[in-house]
Structure 1
Amino acid sequence: MTAAGAPARTGVSRGGTRRGLLAWVAAGAAGAGMLLLATGRTWAEVSYPAAPGGGARGGVVALSGGDLAPVLGPLAMACLAAVVAVLATRGLWRRVVGALIALLGAAAAVAAWQGSSAAHAAEVAGARGTLTGLAGLVASPEWAWPSLAVAGGLVLVAAGVIAVARGGRWAGMSDRYERRGARPGGPGAGGERPGGSERSLWDALDQGVDPTEGDGPGARQG
């Protein structure tokens, strides 16, 4: 009962850690995706008066998240790369990458929050060449997309913290190959794995050797 139950429990444990890793990857990718989506949307509209002396007419300038928080795009791409790096690392390095994701997420959340203010939008609009020197700029922020960017940053912070705390329990990309390696006293340690005889027969046929004759692999025993 104990010998039969141990492999079953091991399989369940591996399945659980694999599902946990996949769920984490989905959450991290979603957080970075939220940043990218919000960055390309309009965060504020700034209206400006007509130029003095009857020159240019007044109008409205739309500012995107990339205009008001240009760091968000690079941060989102860095977070996506870090999520992939978690899959390729183990142990201490996985925790280091998780800490980096948390820091990048925090920086993105702060940048999104600062970029959502009306004063910042008016300042960015006023710095544009066509509006430089104009007074009376009025900004009307759109809160939905900046809020999404802040939420994406917080998701990445949570994902990074989870990777630091639990990343050591998750399976790595190379685990499936390591489990196929030799184990002391088990298949691969001086003995053939199940199906090894059949594989040797096919290898012999591929090499043009008749496995039923002589002392070749899989030769019949008389």
Structure 2
Amino acid sequence: MTSSPGPGGPAAGTGVSRADARPRGARRSLMAWLVCCAAGAGLALFAAGKEWAAVGYGGAPVPVNGGDAVTGLTPLVLAALAAVLAVFATRGVWRRLVGVVLTCCGAAVAALAWPSRLPERAVEVAETTRSLSGQAARVTVTAWPWAAVAGGALLAACGVAAVLLAGAWPGMSGKYERRSGDGGKTTRRVTGDRALWDAIDEGTDPTVDLDDHSGNDKK
């Protein structure tokens, strides 16, 4: 003869694990998004400091790096990083608006780094820095502009992801919020030093739980 599982049986445990899996998945998604944002911004900033073109005037070529060829590149990447941080400080519609800003910044980085007009810009920079106007120039373009384009495209994709997924992501204070399936607050019994610190890290107030438990014992 078998007995059906009670309120604390395997079925209940399965429900709790599924409820816990959703915020864990959201946190993993947010961390993966943050890594992609850092990779895109880091790639664009790293490429901006490299040599994008070399302008030759018959003698030694004049190197031109990305920051000189595209002066607005670094400020746009920094603005994108600021938008990434703002995602953690906002919620709802504001978080999606920040995602739109991030998308625009990433798209602007990719558009500015696109090397279609790089030879002209490189000649202008070389002539300004070396006073070599009026001489025929030979321009050699490197692959670093394409790295900046890839970084900007990755930032733009992260912005789109923020617009679509931001509603499920926790905020800066998400771990201090206590929720249950019916929208109410959840409490649990906290015993032991390790369990006490785990409860604090998860946002549960162990002092309230202990006070409630001691009050029940007195009754």
TM-score scaled by length of structure 1: 0.75
Opposite residue 167 of structure 2, the aligned amino acid is G
Q: Look up the match of 2:152.
A: 153
- CA-CA distance at 1:59 after TM superposition: 3.0
Q: CA 1:186 to 1:30, structure 2 compared with 1: closer, same or farther past 3 Å?
A: closer
Q: How does 1:81-92 map to 2 (within 5 A)?
A: 81-92=82-93
Point out the structure with the larger helix share. 2
Equivalent residues of 1:43, 1:65 under 8 A apart: yes
Q: Look up the match of 1:75.
A: 76
Q: How does 1:17-56 map to 2 (within 5 A)?
A: 17-49=26-58
Give me the CA root mean square deviation.
2.9
**How far, CA to CA, are the matches of 1:187 and 1:122 in structure 2?**
66
**How far, CA to CA, are the matches of 1:173 and 1:186 in structure 2?**
19
**How far, CA to CA, are the matches of 2:95 and 2:38 in structure 1?**
16
Q: Look up the match of 1:165.
A: 164
Q: Structure 1 stretches of 5 or more lacking a match?
A: 50-57, 204-216
Opposite residue 157 of structure 2, the aligned amino acid is A
**How far, CA to CA, are the matches of 1:126 and 1:120 in structure 2?**
10
Q: Look up the match of 2:177.
A: 178
Opposite residue 158 of structure 1, the aligned amino acid is A
Q: Look up the match of 1:105.
A: 106
Q: Look up the match of 2:137.
A: 137
Q: Mean Cα displacement is larger for which, 106-115 or 59-68?
A: 106-115
Equivalent residues of 1:44, 1:63 under 8 A apart: yes
Q: How does 1:5-20 map to 2 (within 5 A)?
A: 5-20=14-29
- CA-CA distance at 1:68 after TM superposition: 0.5
Please give the secondary structure, in 1, of the residue aligned with 2:129.
Answer: coil
Aligned length: 191
Opposite residue 179 of structure 1, the aligned amino acid is R
Equivalent residues of 1:42, 1:63 under 8 A apart: yes
- CA-CA distance at 1:123 after TM superposition: 2.6
Q: Look up the match of 2:203.
A: none
- CA-CA distance at 1:130 after TM superposition: 2.0
Percent identity over the alignment is 43
- CA-CA distance at 1:2 after TM superposition: 4.5
**How far, CA to CA, are the matches of 1:184 and 1:84 in structure 2?**
28
Q: CA 1:116 to 1:23, structure 2 compared with 1: closer, same or farther past 3 Å?
A: farther
Opposite residue 74 of structure 1, the aligned amino acid is P
Equivalent residues of 1:68, 1:115 under 8 A apart: no
Equivalent residues of 1:126, 1:137 under 8 A apart: no
Q: CA 1:125 to 1:187, structure 2 compared with 1: closer, same or farther past 3 Å?
A: closer
